[in-house]
Amino acid sequence: MAALKKTKNLKMLNILASRYSPQVNSSRNLNLQEYHSKDLLKKHQVSIQNFRLIDSSLDPKLLTDFKADEYVVKAQILAGGRGKGHFDNGFKGGVHLTKDPQQIISLAKNMIGHKLITKQTPKEGILVDKVMVAESVNIKRETYLSIVMERSYNGAALVASPAGGMDIEAVAEKTPHLLKTVPIDIHEGVTDAMAKELAEFLEFKGAMINKCADEIKKLWQLFLKVDATQLEINPLVETDDGRVVAVDAKINFDDNAQFRQQDIFALDDVSGVDPREREAASLNLTYIDMDGSIGCMVNGAGLAMATMDLIMLSGGRPANFLDLGGGVGQSQVSAALRILESDPKVKAIFVNVFAGIVNCATVASGIVAACKENPPIHPLVIRLEGTNAAQAKTILEQSGLKFNIINDADEAAKMAVKLAK
């Protein structure tokens, strides 16, 4: 139950961050590289392109016995637009096609150890340390297939379209007749009849119907076994040699199932994640980066919303916020304050805690301990209400440290904005 509550809070906090800083991508999901997703598909017998992985050793032996008419050489980073990107060494494109196997290592050498810059990466780019070499397939048709958790069906549903290889939201808007959604009975699963019906809707013909239906059933088994919340294959293709192949996959996982999917979660690529966010997560705290000048320490998504509203109404903008959650300890509070202060955008910090499960005295002790160990760089405005609020105020006042202790939330927000200017 605690994990479920934390997940819901995180989703709410992500919504809040988007509301107050629309340009900030605050969502933090399990990040799997493309080759990890292909590995999962392969382990569950889903048909994919054959592939190999090249690392910094650039060892040609990694390609032994890998034969194809044409090869796709793809830099592995967590960002789109790789094909149109460029590297910091001047090399153009993070995706290349070649029919000459002798060129593969040369292409990889131009990518590995260099930063790839695309429209979706930071300005300085992302370092490439692996390159995937895949069999190029001759695509006859592209279709779309996904399995998602759908609230309106209280469970999973299959979503299919014969118009694959494009934005499915655009298909739904412009050509809704090309989109079919079928709820899945969790007890029956994906039946033969259901799989064949969808294969026919995807416009597979003759023997290809059964091949497609078989892939759909395998994808359902994968969805179940890895505790996925979304499994999207776009495109699911028909090749000119009569195969049904999952060319590209996007998989989202239920983070409440991490305890039984430890091997998958261990693959999480955090290279592009803010170090402050990583540290907060290791302490069971939630940190969201934004674009203002006031750091916010709160407990709960509801209070986060109210706090940011107060800051905005007072003429300021939040630089970040850190949710302490429930049951936080003194050491976590100290670490939380240090994380907030490490953000170069921050000019003032607003601590706004309404304690129920959280103890105000614990929060106050954590703040005092952090400030005595590392004197604060920025002014602190503190409002603590609820459990042991009076004791907390005494702890702060007797610490000998300079705090702006204000009981009224409106006045506290105004003070934070004033001090941040």
| 190 annotated as belonging to a binding site for a ligand | no
| 358 annotated as belonging to a binding site for a ligand | yes
| 137 annotated as belonging to a binding site for a ligand | yes
| 256 annotated as belonging to a binding site for a ligand | no
| 83 annotated as belonging to a binding site for a ligand | yes
Q: How far apart are CA 268 and CA 105, in angstroms?
A: 27
Q: Which of 34, 197, 215, 232 is catalytic?
A: 232
| 81 annotated as belonging to a binding site for a ligand | yes
| Residue 122, preceding peptide bond in cis (omega within 30° of 0) | no
Using alpha carbons only, how large is the chain's radius of gyration in Å?
26
Please name the amino acid found at residue 11.
Answer: K
Tokens of 413: 């927000």
| 272 annotated as belonging to a binding site for a ligand | no
Evaluate whether 403 touches 376 at the Cβ level (below 8 Å).
no
- Eight-class DSSP state of 269: -
Q: Which of 34, 144, 197, 238 is catalytic?
A: 144
Please name the amino acid found at residue 4.
Answer: L
| 25 annotated as belonging to a binding site for a ligand | no
Helices 301-313 and 2-20: angle between axes, nearest 10 degrees: 20
Active site residue 232: yes
Angle among Cα 285, 290, 291 to the nearest 5 degrees reads 155
Please name the amino acid found at residue 6.
Answer: K
Angle among Cα 293, 299, 303 to the nearest 5 degrees reads 75
Three-state DSSP at 135 gives strand
Q: How far apart are CA 389 and CA 372, in angstroms?
A: 21
- Identify how many contiguous H helices and E strands the chain contains and give both numbers: 13, 19
Strands 318-323 and 294-298: parallel
CA atoms within 13 A on the CB side of 408: 4
Q: How far apart are CA 21 and CA 56, in angstroms?
A: 38
Evaluate whether 181 touches 168 at the Cβ level (below 8 Å).
no
Evaluate whether 158 touches 195 at the Cβ level (below 8 Å).
no
Helices 330-341 and 275-282: angle between axes, nearest 10 degrees: 180
Q: How far apart are CA 405 and CA 421, in angstroms?
A: 19
Name beta bridge partners: 381: 350, 404
Binding residues for GTP: 49, 81-83, 137
Binding residues for Mg(2+): 234, 248
Binding residues: 49, 81-83, 137, 234, 248, 299, 356-358
Binding residues for substrate: 299, 356-358
Active-site positions? 144, 232
